[in-house]
Structure 1
Amino acid sequence: MKQKFFTFIGLSLFSILGIFGQDVQISGTVTSMSDGLPLPGVNIIVAGTSTGSQTDFDGKYSISAPQGAVLQFSYLGMRAVERTVGSETVINVQLEEDADQLSEVVVTALGIKKSRKSLTYAAQDLKSDELTKVKDANPINSLSGKVSGLTVNRSSSGLGGSVKVTLRGNSSTRTNQPLYVIDGIPLSNNSSYQPNNAFGDFGGGNRDGGDALSLLNPDDIESMTVLKGASASALYGSQGANGVILITTKKGKEGSFKVTYSSNLTFENAASLPEFQTEYLGAAGENNAWNGGKGASDDHVEDFFNTGVTAINSVSISGGTEKAQTYFSYANTSGSGITPSHKLKRHSLNFRETAKLFDDRLTANANITLSTQSIDNKPVNGLYFNPLTGLYLYPRVGGDSFSNYENTYETFVPGNIHPQQNWIFQEDIQQNPYWIINRNQSDDLNQKLITALSLQFKVNDWLSFQTRGSYDRTINKFEKRLYATTEATLAPATGRFIYRETEDTQLYADLIATINKDFGEDWNLSANIGTSITNSKIGEGLNLDSGVNGGLRVPNQFIVQNFDSNFANSFTLAQTLAGKREQQSVFASTTLGFKEMIYLDLTARNDWTSTLSNTDNNSFFYPSVGITTILSEAFELPEAISYAKVRASYAEVGNDLPAFVSQPQFSAPFGQGAFIQSITSVVPLKPELQKSTEFGLEAKFIDNRLGFNATYYQTNTNDQIIPISTPTSGQGLTQTFINAGNIQNQGLEVSINASIIRNDNFEWNSILNYAVNDNKVKELRSELAPDQDEVILTDAVPSNINYRYIIKEGGSFGDIYAQTTERDANGNIVLAADGTPVNGGINLVGNANPDWTLGWNNSFEYKNITLNVLVDARFGGEVLSITEGYLDERGLSQRTADARNAGAVAGSFVNEDGTPFTGTVDPQAYYTAVGGRQGFTGEYVYDATNIRLAELSLGYRFKLPESLFIKSANFSVIGRNLFFFHKDAPFDPNISASTGEGLQGIDLFSQPTTRSLGFNLQLTF
């Protein structure tokens, strides 16, 4: 009986094993979850065996495995997936991107790819979807709040405007914009014009000439890597003092061709306007609302602005074989701003071809990018050429209506052959807003061409050579037509025509040898040595202007041939010479790794630059050294700590001299037969030198679900390039430059990322970016200029606007000085005998830079639904509103109405002799003294703290049948700058009057910030 029982058990087990031992032929398709396209080259392994397969060109595979076996699907950059073999013969799999894997390799200086754990400095990167979920016409705006230590200030010129990016604070009296590098090649990003005072020039006003970055197609960007400090950017030498932003663009991938179409449509409206009063009127013939008595008026300001519309449509084609891949894209951006007649059109083409030749030893990469952009009537800020000046200062005269001036902005007067401007009164700073829009027209045209070729030859497993070359050309054209009867300060009686054209070109080439070799089991050497040359020409072009005093022979005929030759001394016909610069460099970098645990990083660069001619220095050397230790590899850490790393680095980088600074500049005034030397260098000059030290700690916890990255840094930028006045000595010399000064920045950056919830149906990821920076001007004086303790970046005092933007020894970059009322020790305003405030002089009233910044980005995914929320916050700092001062002076602000209703100005006051003031302060007398052009500008300073909902995206990913020609479809509702959780200032503190140096934190009839709401559709075929 026992023998039969064991025989039965044996036969049963044999049968069961026989069933599981039967191999099943499995086939299927592996696709990407993000776009539904097939993935070639996916590895499929039968777990526990050596049996494996790989997907083909169309993502298809076939493998034999027994029932009950586990198939493991893996692909670089994707999360691995396991499937158990059952009775089915078809197993289709979708793989999704693994952020942890993608972040293991990072692009660094000169386009060199490194393992993230080997980095000895701070670098933060963003992938394409993080930049395009809530798309902006200028992709750089999408960085705000997403990178610690990086601040973005948008120009107030609205749609098509430029941006100012600052990394780790301002450090230079010249420029603080980072270097932008596309696919390893530096980008020429010069702005043709940026305002630097209250008015701008009398030809263009405070015009924003735009920048090259705004011409980029956001959908062409694969990723951005931000190299924040000198250690990260040391290989760029005299170009790297302000940090570097590396932009990697998309290229074709192996596999069947896919077509991606993206459509983004948003609607914008004014999000922040001054608070106007509507209960007091102005008297006839007066430019204020003080003397017309009580009476309701319409709020014409809000009615003036339109609903802006921006449409960004792009299509790309990508694919190829194992040997050659192609990427082509076209993007069209069209929009209208909130200001009437403000329109933008942009076209972008990008073609890229990648090929592998000679048994895959040679990789060739060629691309061409062409962008063209036209903007009609780009808004300006400031007092002149600005429709908001007249719009805001319209005095609300009884019996008169602002609507009368909309359709009748011009009228015909008997005896005149051309129409004349119709406005309530004459004043140099303002005109009929609709006259400015229709009869002070401007056109901006920007064109950019970038061509690049890269060849990489692999000699063997550890040695390769790469050479790259590029040609970068930017053309900017500006035209302004001022019709007859435009305000006489700006144009003569017959009108005025202005045309400006500039061309910037840059040629770049480099040659780099790369070594990557293991020595035994413990050591690895990764080294690069190379040379580069950059040749640039900036600002070559034409400047044509019929002038303020001359004008046109025939009114309103805007051609150069119509310039009035009777006023040749008044018009301008000039060719501008290019600022030429050539830089030749050699560089090397070495990373020595021990057991993937300790890494030593050394870099060196030597620059020879043409801007050093006529100086005692023909070149400069820029070194860096860094070390990092992976603590989790070196020590046994608690189980909760998945990864830990410490790093330290020191570097020296520079900021090159501007063209012509070390060479005499000449001018040939009209009617004089000789050149006059105006600017020269009488002392040796050298580039600004920044010395930087940083320490960092990185850690991951709970199986990499929680990440922490902190960096402390200190930078000292010495040898600032400072202009000083020079006695002419009869030779025409007016100015020279010296090296002096030391500006220090020290701060802390912290990034925390967490995968809070992750399961089959729901995922919640959160990223927090925090940064604090302390800026000090340690020194400005030098032996050559012992009394030079300040540099004035913007001076509006000569224009009677009474503020200055000053870099002063002992102060901080961004300090704002303005005229204030005199106050006693208790802060009470001192009043003169006539009841108006006593002048307290020009004093420090604030600093335009925030004390600390915070960005909090959350992404939620439930099945096919996604939600992304970005909160962007800045704490501290001050801003100044000249607009509010003007509104007070004219009696147009709600503040003045409240005071009139109360019968007196609220506040604490004392008499000039120090005795308590017991009377009442008359609102009209007080505000006409405090506000306006010659008023106490320092009384209009506000806390710049603001917290906003910066981005919102709610999307749905559609599940589509495999047989459908549409492979994937994603639809999302998007919003940008939707509302403020907190804001003290009467305008958006993050909007700048200029993206140059000197007008941050200043509101001078600036265009209001906008909120946008719309949708995005993405289809893949």
Structure 2
Amino acid sequence: MRKAVIPVLFVFSLSANAQEKKSADTTKTNSIEEVVVTSLGIKRQARSLTYSSQQIGGDELTEVKTPNLLNSINGKVSNVQINRTNGVGSSVRVIMRGNKSVNNAQPLYVIDGIPIINGTGKSADIGQYSNMPDPGDVLSSINPDDIESINFLKGASASALYGSAGGNGAILITTKKGRAGKSSITYSSSLTVDRAYSLPKLQHSYLSYDPSVSGSQPGQAVDSWGAKGSSKDYLKDFLQTGTTWVNSLSFQSGNERSTSYFSIGNTTNKGVVPMSYFDQYNVSFRNSSKFLDDKLTLDANFIGSLQESKNRQTPGASFSPLTSLYWLPRGVDFDQYGADNYSYLDKTRFLPAQNWWEVNPDGSFKGNPVTQNPYWILNRNPVTVSNKNTYGALSLSYQINPWLTARVRGNYSWNISDSQRDIAAFSAPSLLANGTNGRMLKNTYENSSTYGDVLLIGSPKISESISLDFTVGGSINTTRNKIGQIDNAYLANPNLFTLNNLQWNVNRSPGDGYHNIYTNMKKQVQSVFASASVGYKNMFYVDMTFRNDWDSTLALTGRTGFDYESVGANAILSSIFKLPEVINFWKVRGSYATVGLGLPTNITNAMVEYSKGYVYGVDAGTIVYPKSSFATGAGFEALLPKPELNKTFEAGTELRLLNNKLNFDITYYNSNTSNQLLETTIPSYLGGLAPGSYYINAGKIRNTGFESSLSYKIFGSEKFGWTTTLNASANKNKIVELFPTSINVSQELTFPLTGGGDYTKLKLGGSFGDLYGIKFKRDDQGRILVNEKGVPLAEGIPSYLGNPNPKFIMGFNNSFNIGKLGISFLIDGKFGGKVLSLTEKANDIYGVSQSTADARDAGGVSIPNAVYAPGTPNAGQAYTGLTNAKDYYKAVGTTEGFGKGVDEAYLYSATTIRLRQASVSYMFDVNSKYLKNATVSLVGTNLFFFYKKAPFDPEQVSGNTPGGVGVDSFGLPVTRSIGLSLKANF
């Protein structure tokens, strides 16, 4: 019997202070004595750190509010990319210092020193037939008004104490506490109006038919390649002005022995798409109390939220009401299918039937329907998402003597996400999956985490020149995941979307939409770790850390424990040498660390139960998951399962000049992540393995780059102040290794997007996120080949198109104060990269894009640097004519996703420069009996682009998977928000 491991955590910090100074919590970057939150929630002086970290305060998060607090970070922290999915409440994708892992690129999230699970479920698919929206994440449910500060630990040295969870860095969130003194109440409210912009450019000057031809009528053709004419812009009338209202009320009180903080919040959003909404309710409580002559401190924290949304935008064409309006044949009168006319009562079945130009009078569809009535989608194919999140933590600290404290902490976090799509009878046959009474899809994701640690924290005095800070302890983290998925097209009673109305005893073929899957997974990590920081006379500091993790995922592999280390050093040159007076502080630093990423739950122990066991009508009982297993034959010994390993070196310098008004920080880093969890197909017997799909630990991804931050407090008086901050970073990503050559498998790995040969590919020598697709066919001189009609030819296999990740990122933040008047604005830019648009590709083939109208007006499409293809009458001769617009766009466009048509024609620059946010505020000093002061602000977000070439916002991704980055698949257009905010202190 395996003995239980009793972990002991050892964190050791040694620093030198000639004189102890008082330091208050702050997020300013111009103070040498700044205190920042580091791993395990331990606070340290910034001057002692041997690695880069960047901290921002809660006021910066709420200056211009966004429903998801991480969306407020863009442009404010160097080398942090934040990509949004679709709409309010959706998740965000956060990448720090480049993509490091094939399986999990997201950082670790920590609240008040304790790790949490951020995911709520599976990210949305992005194919044409995607049926579920992005379910959101836990951080999207946290009230930004409850945040004291967020610290970004971007490098391995900063996150090394988190071991197998810290491979992608860590984001440390510190929540607000009550303060001793007079009780206070704060109320804040923000109301913005939201308008969609950066919409696809659509044409309304060509019809779907020819009025001059007898019998030619609107709706006879599914596309708009007809005669010249005019049609109404129904999309403009369909979209509405959305509103976002964020309210928060907090109360804090306390004395020297006990402090409390309590808040409630609500976010209500009416989307720009009719009948779409989002509601969120937050509550938080934190109490800190001291006992036994202030030696015992109890800190309790609770955060809870409830989210409800309806008709959140789903990527893909099938369930997007916008697609129906994009592709609406020009000349068809949409008003007759509007909000009051989208359905009628079928006299045969006495059920609502769809009223649409593609539907026959008897309710059947004309052939294979392309779209549905957008109001039918919203009313009869609605999707709802419900998320519940709770987080509770308890910390007990006892001061054994003036330099030694014992601490016990624990937390329990739980979240559940329910998504349901109801597809009513008389919907498009392809969506009903051969059912006649309707179809019900339901996803349930439940996650929980139980964490506990024991720490011994000390700071014994070594000498006048040397002081010592240390922490020892141990931790256990247990996570549980439950997944339920239902897809049933056999309802006993029509349009009744309940579990009791589903039939499970009908045997149908795959593709009919018929399964019920339930999985239950558990994982535990037990850890010991240590750190030390040694300082001498405020001149030198040396950091060392060690951690060992025992991971239950590896319990059957013979080796469950893996260790991670780091070492770092800095020198405070301004304390060592006599420097010019203009230099107030100068530090140089360097560090090296190894951190990891654990394996997914159950990856080495394929024992997952399916509760009902029905898969396409067959009682499958217990099914093995995952379907692939690890390769364990001869020759695979070095590839046995193990955590991913990130080895990072970084070096940097920090300068404070001109009486600490000018601050500069720059870091260079080199990161190598190996032992990637890769799945490959072994085609023939090798090392005793039968042909099949296997997991292998192999591959290496390298990220190198720099990040910098420059801030200058140009003026700092109460009458006039101006502070400007510039963040800049660049990252280069490379796939250094993939599969070992000894196992004779393909040196590439693909992530399908929408099927049909379209994918993101990892290839040896390439970069993470590389997009592959069909290019124009060219001769050996790079000239495009056309047929005898001037229509361009396409290559037969996908090839490299580009990479969506920016080469350079910049944020330029300015804040002014003129007495009580405050003005701020943030400009950010992302430079480099390429993105693809499935939306434009489909709009072109239907002849509804503005580019197709422009081409018709011009008499055709000009194809630069083109020649006639071999085999044509004019083979090899230059083609200088105009290609018929319809022939051209029918050749390059498609509704079947990438890998068809010519993807290269829909490749755009990802470079953008935008005014991210701006605010103008005025504070009124009231100082009445009840009201202290109030601040009123005019605020705006996503105000406009200074530069953008892509027809969509490249920052908005279609899904939080590798295949969803850099791809536009009928997503929700970006919204511009302008409104007012009020903050009152009582």
Q: Do Structure 1 and Structure 2 share a fold, with TM-score over 0.5?
A: yes
Aligned identity (percent) is: 40
User: How do residues 541-940 of structure 1 correspond to structure 2 at under 5 angstroms?
Assistant: 541-547=483-489, 551-564=490-503, 567-569=506-508, 572=514, 574=516, 576-665=518-607, 671=618, 675=622, 677=624, 678-683=627-632, 684-725=640-681, 735-782=693-740, 785-798=743-756, 802-825=757-780, 827-840=782-795, 841-908=797-864, 909-913=866-870, 914-932=876-894, 933=896, 934-940=900-906
Aligned AA for 1:922?
N
Q: Partner of 1:87 in structure 2?
A: none
In 2, distance between residues paired with 1:248 and 1:929?
55
Give the drift of 1:935.
1.4
Q: Partner of 1:32 in structure 2?
A: none
Higher mean displacement: 994-1003 or 558-567: 558-567
- Tell me the SS of whatever aligns to 2:882: coil
Counterpart of 1:173 (choices 95, 98, 102) is 102
Give the drift of 1:75.
9.2
The count of corresponding residues between Structure 1 and Structure 2 is 918
Is 1:239 matched up with 2:165?
yes
In 2, distance between residues paired with 1:731 and 1:747?
41
Counterpart of 2:60 (choices 122, 130, 133) is 130
Cα displacement string for residues 225-273 of structure 1 (whole angstroms, at most 9, x for unaligned residues): 0001000000000000101000000011101110110111111111211
In 1, distance between residues paired with 2:766 and 2:691?
31
Give the drift of 1:115.
0.7
Distance 1:603 1:428, change over 3 A: farther
Aligned AA for 2:771?
I
Q: Partner of 2:389 in structure 1?
A: 448
Aligned AA for 2:63?
K
Q: Is the contact between residue 862 and residue 881 of structure 2 (CA under 8 Å) also seen in structure 1?
A: no
The higher relative CO (CA closer than 8 Å, separation ≥ 6) is in 2
Aligned AA for 1:925?
D
Q: Partner of 1:83 in structure 2?
A: none
TM-score by length of 1: 0.87
Q: Is the contact between residue 68 and residue 89 of structure 2 (CA under 8 Å) also seen in structure 1?
A: yes
Give the drift of 1:344.
0.9
In 2, distance between residues paired with 1:373 and 1:466?
34
Cα displacement string for residues 785-805 of structure 1 (whole angstroms, at most 9, x for unaligned residues): 43231111224342xxx5311
Is 1:971 matched up with 2:936?
yes
User: How do residues 258-407 of structure 1 correspond to structure 2 at under 5 angstroms?
Assistant: 258-283=184-209, 284-397=218-331, 400-402=333-335, 404-407=337-340
In 1, distance between residues paired with 2:858 and 2:620?
67
- Tell me the SS of whatever aligns to 1:459: strand
Q: Partner of 2:39 in structure 1?
A: 109
In 2, distance between residues paired with 1:465 and 1:970?
43
Distance 1:987 1:807, change over 3 A: same
- Tell me the SS of whatever aligns to 1:900: helix
- Tell me the SS of whatever aligns to 2:963: coil
In 2, distance between residues paired with 1:128 and 1:254?
19
Distance 1:843 1:783, change over 3 A: closer
Give the drift of 1:285.
4.0
Aligned AA for 2:878?
P
Q: Partner of 2:970 in structure 1?
A: 1005
Q: Is the contact between residue 554 and residue 562 of structure 1 (CA under 8 Å) also seen in structure 2?
A: yes
Distance 1:415 1:1003, change over 3 A: same
Cα displacement string for residues 974-993 of structure 1 (whole angstroms, at most 9, x for unaligned residues): 00000001111111111000
- Tell me the SS of whatever aligns to 2:379: helix
Give the drift of 1:488.
0.9
In 2, distance between residues paired with 1:194 and 1:966?
45
TM-score by length of 2: 0.90
Give the drift of 1:397.
2.9
In 1, distance between residues paired with 2:743 and 2:946?
48
Higher mean displacement: 615-624 or 630-639: 615-624
Q: Is the contact between residue 78 and residue 98 of structure 1 (CA under 8 Å) also seen in structure 2?
A: no
- Tell me the SS of whatever aligns to 2:862: coil
In 2, distance between residues paired with 1:383 and 1:853?
32
Runs of 5+ unmatched residues, structure 1? 1-73, 80-96
Q: Is the contact between residue 120 and residue 415 of structure 2 (CA under 8 Å) also seen in structure 1?
A: no
- Tell me the SS of whatever aligns to 2:54: strand
Runs of 5+ unmatched residues, structure 2? 1-20, 210-217, 359-365, 633-639, 871-875
- Tell me the SS of whatever aligns to 1:145: coil
Higher mean displacement: 323-332 or 515-524: 515-524
In 2, distance between residues paired with 1:857 and 1:255?
34
Q: Is the contact between residue 782 and residue 788 of structure 1 (CA under 8 Å) also seen in structure 2?
A: no
In 1, distance between residues paired with 2:504 and 2:711?
67
Aligned AA for 1:965?
Y
Give the drift of 1:301.
1.4
User: How do residues 359-508 of structure 1 correspond to structure 2 at under 5 angstroms?
Assistant: 359-397=293-331, 400-402=333-335, 404-425=337-358, 426=366, 427-491=368-432, 492-508=435-451
Give the drift of 1:480.
1.6
Higher mean displacement: 551-560 or 443-452: 551-560
Counterpart of 1:158 (choices 87, 92, 106) is 87
Aligned AA for 1:846?
G
Aligned AA for 1:262?
S
Give the drift of 1:816.
0.5
In 2, distance between residues paired with 1:710 and 1:910?
50
Q: Is the contact between residue 541 and residue 571 of structure 2 (CA under 8 Å) also seen in structure 1?
A: yes
In 2, distance between residues paired with 1:421 and 1:760?
65
Q: Partner of 2:75 in structure 1?
A: 145
Q: Partner of 2:464 in structure 1?
A: 521
Give the drift of 1:187.
1.1
Q: Is the contact between residue 817 and residue 938 of structure 1 (CA under 8 Å) also seen in structure 2?
A: no
Cα displacement string for residues 33-63 of structure 1 (whole angstroms, at most 9, x for unaligned residues): xxxxxxxxxxxxxxxxxxxxxxxxxxxxxxx
- Tell me the SS of whatever aligns to 1:486: coil
In 1, distance between residues paired with 2:129 and 2:652?
43
In 1, distance between residues paired with 2:308 and 2:58?
26
Q: Is the contact between residue 669 and residue 704 of structure 2 (CA under 8 Å) also seen in structure 1?
A: yes
Give the drift of 1:560.
2.1
Cα displacement string for residues 463-502 of structure 1 (whole angstroms, at most 9, x for unaligned residues): 1111110010101111221111111111122111223322
Cα displacement string for residues 14-51 of structure 1 (whole angstroms, at most 9, x for unaligned residues): xxxxxxxxxxxxxxxxxxxxxxxxxxxxxxxxxxxxxx
Q: Is the contact between residue 25 and residue 35 of structure 2 (CA under 8 Å) also seen in structure 1?
A: no
Distance 1:354 1:835, change over 3 A: same
Q: Is the contact between residue 827 and residue 913 of structure 2 (CA under 8 Å) also seen in structure 1?
A: yes
Aligned AA for 1:796?
T
- Tell me the SS of whatever aligns to 2:486: strand
Aligned AA for 2:394?
L
Aligned AA for 1:596?
N
Give the drift of 1:636.
0.6
In 1, distance between residues paired with 2:933 and 2:586?
39
User: How do residues 84-95 of structure 1 correspond to structure 2 at under 5 angstroms?
Assistant: none
Q: Partner of 1:3 in structure 2?
A: none
Aligned AA for 1:397?
G
- Tell me the SS of whatever aligns to 1:435: helix
Cα displacement string for residues 736-790 of structure 1 (whole angstroms, at most 9, x for unaligned residues): 2101111000001010010011224100001100000000001102156432311
Aligned AA for 1:863?
G
Cα displacement string for residues 669-708 of structure 1 (whole angstroms, at most 9, x for unaligned residues): 5646765543322332101101000001100111101000
Aligned AA for 2:528?
V
- Tell me the SS of whatever aligns to 1:407: coil
Distance 1:671 1:165, change over 3 A: closer
- The structure whose Rg is larger is 1
Distance 1:325 1:696, change over 3 A: same
Cα displacement string for residues 907-962 of structure 1 (whole angstroms, at most 9, x for unaligned residues): 222100322124431111111111113311221000010000001010001021x3
